[in-house]
Structures are given as C-alpha cells and as structure tokens.
Chain A
Amino acid sequence: MEIHIAHYLIVAGILFSIGLVGVVVRRNAIVVLMCLELMLNAANLVFVAFARMHGNMQGRIFVFFAITVAAAEAAVMLAIIIAVYRQRETVNTDDMDIMQG
C-alpha cells in the first residue's frame, strides 16, 4: 500500500467539498464561517502536499501565512456576526435579507 501525493489531494478535495456543502446548506452564520475555515484548510493541505512533493519550503511558508490570514479573517468575521446580531437579533442568514431586490 503505497501512498502517493494523489491520495492527499483527494483527501483535500473531499474536505473542500464537505466545506462547500456546509456553506451552502447551513443557515447559522457561525457554522457557515466554520465551513469556510474547513475549505481553507483543504487548500492548505494541497500546498503542504505539493511542498512535500517538490521537497522545498515555499508551500509550507505559504500555509504559515494562510493560517495567519485565516486567524485575522475569523476574528473580523466573528466581529461582523456580533455586530449583525446586535442589529437584527439573529445570526440566521435567511433573515439577513435587507438587500433583497
């Protein structure tokens, strides 16, 4: 049983798809945010896998940055959710529809 880079990539694909389904299906803004994080991690996995394949550090450093950015992003997103909750008493994305045409 040999493990190829392809295996990692497929795992990343599965994770990405799960995250995607979650973003679309879930109505809780916090959970949607978590699904986004999952998708981001799927991408990170691809970076790391290819870094391993090419045997250099670039991909890993990129992941390092990605994690940092994700942390910042999560903080801001949660702040937004709190602000929205204060305004509308909800985190249900279906109720956030003042932009309706």
Chain B
Amino acid sequence: MDDNTVATLAYVILFAPVVAAILITLFTRKSKGISAFLSVGSVVTGGILSVILLFDQLAKGPGTPPVISQFEWAAARDSAIGDIVLNIGVQVDFISILMSTIVGVVGSCIFVYALGYMKGDEGWSRFFAKFAFFAFSMLGITYATNFVQIFIFWELVGVSSYLLIGYFYQKPSATDAGKKAFMTNRIGDFGMTLGILLLFFAVRDVFGAVDGFSFVELQRIFTDEASRTLLFDAMGWKAGLGAFLIFVGAMGKSAQFPLHVWLPDAMEGPTPVSALMHAATMVAAGVYMIVRCYWLFAWAESAMIAIAWIGGITALMAATIAVVQNDIKKILAYSTLSQLGYMVMACGMWGAGAGMFHLATHAFFKALLFMGAGSVIHACHTNDIWEMGGLAKKMKHTTWTFIAGTLALAGIFPLAGFWSKDEILSASHHIAPLYWIGVGVAFLTAFYMGRCVFTAFFGKYRGDGHPHESPAVMWVPLAILAIFAIFGGWVGAPADLNPFGEHGLQSYLLVAYTTVAEGAHQQVINWPTGQGHMAKSLHMNVAVIGTLVAVAGLFVSYLFYGSRKFSAEKAKKMFGPIYTLVSNKYYIDEFYLFLVKKVQQGFANLCSIVEQHIIIGIFVNGLAGGAREAGDKFRKMQTGRVNTYVTMILGGLTLLVFLFVVGKEFWG
C-alpha cells in the first residue's frame, strides 16, 4: 500500500467512530437498532482496517518509516518570537497500528458483547454514542502526530471516561466515581501540560524554528547524539523534570500510584465500559504514550528510575489489595492496576518493548476477564464472589474462557501472559529490588486470580438466584478473546521459540521506537543500559522462576479456596494488622479525603474568613459603606439653593484669601 492509502485508512479508522457518535446523538436516538449498528459498525470497521494496516506493515518489514499526514489546525505567527503551529493528523507506524489494532479488535469484541449486556437498558443509544466517542478519543491518542494533538485526545478520553463511568447517572456513587476519575486525571493532565510546554520552549530556545510539539521532529533531535547533547546541556536538570512531568500525565491515565485511586471506583460504570476503558485501552494510553515518546524518556535517566519505581510500587500495592477484595470487578480492577504498574515498571527499565507487548496481551485477557465477570454478574445479579460458587457447571463457556484469561494473566506457559511477563521480568533483571517485586507480584497475581476462580466457579453455589449461561452475543466475543489470550503470546516470543522466527513482534517494536525515521538512514539505537535488542532465546532462569511462582500462587490459592486445607480466616487473623491495612487499600483514599476535607477545606475556610471579614467586610462593603455614609452626609450640603452655594463659594474664597495673604504675611 502506498502512503496515501495508509493515511486515508488511518483517517477512516480515526473518524468513523466520531461520525457514528454524532449521527447517533443527532438523529438515531430513538431507533436502537440503527444506533447499535452505527456504533458497532464503526468500531468493527476500524478493527478490520487496523488489521489490514497491520498486515501491510508486517509485509513491509521492520523499520518502515512512519507515514505522516497532517494539516494545520491553528497557528500563531509572529516574526519576533517565531511561529507556533499546531497540527492535527495521523502518524502511522508500527506502534500506532499495533495500538489501533488492539483498540479495534478488543473494542469490536466488547462492542458486540455490549449488545447483549446492555439489552433492555433505556439509555441504549446514549451508551453506544458515548462508547463510539470513546473509541474515537482513544484512536486520536493512538494516531497523534504531536504533543498537542495527543493532549487534546487525552482530555477527550478523560471526558468520555467521565461520561461512561457516570453512565448510571441516577446512582450517586456512579456520578461520584465519574467526577473522581475526571479530577484525578486532571492532576495528571496538568503535569503533562507543564511537561509539554517545558519541552517545547526548551527545544525552541535551542533549535529555533523546529516544531517542538511534533513527535518526528523531537525524535530526530533526541536520537541524534549531537543535538541531544546540545539540548540536554541547555536544559540541565529540567530535562529530567520535563520527562517526568509528561509521565505524570501517564500516571493519571494509567492509574499509577499515587493517582491510582480513581480506577477501582470507575467500576461503577457498566461492565463493558470497565472492560474496554479501565482494563484494555484507556488505561493503556499512559503506557502507550511512554512508548510513543520513548526517545524522550530513554535519555532522561532520573525520570526513568522514578518511572520504574512508581510502576513497581503500583504493581505491588495493587496486587496486595486485590488479594483481599470480595467484589469480582474490584479484584479485576486492582489486578489491572497491578498489571499497569508492571508495564510502567518495564518501560522505566528501558524495556518499552516488553511494556508494549504486555499492554497488547493484557488488553486481550483483561478484557476477556472483565467480560467474563460481566457475564457472571449478569447471571448472578451480584458482584460478590462469596455469593457465587459452582458456576462451572452452569456457565460452561464463561467458565472456560475465564479460566483461560486467568491462566494467561497468571503467566502460565504458554499462554499470552507468560511471554510478556517473561519479557518484563527480563527487562527488570538489572534492578534487583524491582525484579523481586515483579516476582512477588507474579505470585500474588496467580494467587488472587486463583482465589477468585476457585471461589466463584467451583464448590457449591451460595447465592439464591438461578444462574444460567449468557446469550451467544456475549460468550462468542469471550471465546474470540480467549483464543487470543491462549495463543496471542507466541507472536512476541523470543526468536528461537517464535513461529515467525527473527521477525517476531519485538523485532518490529524495537525498530519502531528506536530508529530515526529518515529514509534509508536508519540507525538502531543502543539504550544506555545496552538493551534494545530482541531476545534471541528465553532467559531460562527468569522463565522458570516466573512460571514456578505463578504455579505456586495458583496452588496456594487452591489450598485455601479449592480444597480448603488451610483456612482463610486463620490467615486473616495471622496477618491481623497487615490485613486491616491492605483491606483498607492502605488508607490512601482516606488520606486523600483527609487532605480534601481537613487541609483543603481548612484552608478554604481560612480563605473564606479572610474574604468575608477582611476583603468584603473592610474593603468591599467597608469602602462602599463608607462612601454611602459619606454621601448621605454630604448630600445634605446640596440644598439646591443658590444662596447656599454662594455662601460656600464666598466661604472658600475668604479662606483662600486668608491663607494666601495673611498666611503669607505671618508664616512666610
């Protein structure tokens, strides 16, 4: 395919959902069938076109230069300070196509699934319009050519996320969760704004007329050693700060500690929303952005270390919380947090390829798990795993797909999660504490997923409903995703195990984010740690340890919740204070509440007192009141009679004469 076709297809993928959303909102709200057709159709089209683009890209081989098509959106031209031009367009390269494929394929499955899940909901058309709008926002991030565009769509993702979390707007908890997500994201976005501007002005100061927003231009600067050194010398410590601030945006979207608090609450939205946004795509935007701007992060070592540690902390913290949750969606939400922490941790240790790979596999199996959970919730009418049990006999399709997702997430050979987790653990090998955190998280992941599966699907049914299998429109997407979850990992396997040999996913990824796009002059960069090449073969010790801890996690969970050899109650008592701490999510929400309620509210009260009594009391009302009082008194002087005025004039004249003449005589 030539470049024009590629760009056109990308535009179609990008704009089809928004066109659908607009049509639904304006014209077809009443007719549910057309609304659903438009919405699902736009995303399925996007998915199919993305797959076509992906195959085209694969056929062209690794290192194909990006296709960029953009138009000027807004410009401030000034000869004195230089032009600032904002562009909107599409940048089509391997990373964006991969992300768009994930969004398209996972999104298609979830959209179809939503047809069953949302059946009978009165907001049907509204839901599908918002859903399509979300897909548009996410694809906008995916295909962004510059920082301004990515930021605009970043915000649009925030808006659509807000709309969808608060979809059940009659429920106060849902609207609260929406607001919480939006505000938490705003904190991250603010950091991102600052980072983008810092970088833009630094680049302009050093290089003049270069477009400091454009990814390609920036990539050119950062990958060339001479210009990079020039820029870093000029920026000094601000380089690391700028990279970190941009990462703060990713912290908000990808729910990294300490901005992770919104994600578990976001489960208030309908389950397809949780599956699409808070598991597969939107939360992946942060990781995607890190990979997209990897040329920036890779050289800011201090920022990288911070990123790695934040990822590690998030992964561990969320995994421990997931262990004590009883709500099936909350378990998966914390699991998502934990896995996102994993990806970020990998990115922070120069393993962007591993992070992106895990993002891809995770999108499939986590969407699967969420939709499976949705199917279970649909059947049992409860979220509590203790009110389920024995579902394996009643919901065969849901059960096997859910188990497939669980094993993939746990990282059991040879399912998808195994390969990406192995990549991550290999990448983190050189920072020992983070490596062991990664291993611990792998264990915990297997454990909490095992707990969930053994409790919900095996044993005796403990609820009081009559659970039954969901309709085909819901379980078929599950099956499709399950196939990806089982076999999808092979494409990213190390060369000697990869069915594509040397041309595995990693070879494309590495080249895509490490090369400078300049025609024939392509140059593979060695990152500071010397990583950046596709693994030739499996790191045996990493793979073995990873698999062992995963199996151990599942086995321990079997002992607790399957065979009930050990009592979970006793373990709870044994861990007493730690259990309390973890089950209260480390009191982070309480801490934020304290910050808002006591610190911020206290400060606001103080401001209020100052405002009420000093500013309004003395300055505003005091001055106005004084003026009014004075006016009341002085208006009496205006008798309107000529005599009074004459008297006053003469009084004044006399005084003046007296002062000028007599005063001058006596006081010189």
Q: A: which residues have CB within 8 A of B?
A: 20, 23-24, 27, 29, 32, 93-94, 96-101
Contacts and interface: CB of A to CB of B under 8 A. Distances in A.
A27 B638 CA distance: 17
A23 B642 CA distance: 10
A101 B635 contact: yes
B642 A96 contact: yes
Interface of B: 634-643, 646-647, 650
Contacts of A29: 642
B638 A24 contact: no
A23 B638 contact: no
B643 A100 contact: no
Contacts of A98: 640
B646 A24 contact: yes
A97 B639 contact: yes
Given A99-B638, A100-B638, A101-B638, A94 B650 contact: no
Contact of B643 (A20, A24, A101): A24
A92 to B, nearest CB: 9
Given A24-B646, A24-B647, A24-B650, A101 B640 contact: yes
Nearest to B645: A99
A94 B643 contact: yes
A96 B640 contact: yes
A96 B641 contact: yes
A46 to B, nearest CB: 15
B646 A100 contact: no
A57 to B, nearest CB: 29
Chain A contact residues, majority secondary structure: loop
Nearest to B631: A101
A55 B404 CA distance: 128
Contact of B640 (A20, A24, A27, A100): A100
A97 B645 CA distance: 11
A94 B642 CA distance: 8
Given A24-B647, A24-B650, A101 B641 contact: no
Given A101-B635, A101-B637, A93 B650 contact: no
B641 A93 contact: yes
Nearest to A27: B643
Contacts of B643: 23-24, 27, 32, 93-94
Given A24-B646, A100-B638, A101-B640, 7 more contacts: A24-B647, A27-B643, A32-B642, A32-B643, A97-B639, A101-B634, A101-B637
A26 to B, nearest CB: 8
Nearest to A36: B646
A94 to B, nearest CB: 6
B636 A101 contact: yes
B190 to A, nearest CB: 54
A32 B644 CA distance: 13
B640 A93 contact: no
B646 A23 contact: yes
19 contacts: A20-B650, A23-B643, A23-B650, A24-B643, A24-B647, A24-B650, A93-B641, A93-B643, A96-B640, A96-B641, A97-B639, A97-B640, A99-B640, A100-B639, A101-B634, A101-B635, A101-B637, A101-B639, A101-B640
Nearest to A98: B640
Nearest to A97: B640
A91 to B, nearest CB: 11
Sorted nearest first, the 7 A-B pairs with minimum C-beta distance are A101-B638, A100-B640, A97-B640, A101-B635, A99-B640, A93-B642, A97-B641
Contacts of B641: 93-94, 96-97, 100
A39 B634 CA distance: 30
Nearest to B636: A101
B642 to A, nearest CB: 5
Contacts of A100: 638-641
Contacts of B634: 101
Nearest to B632: A101
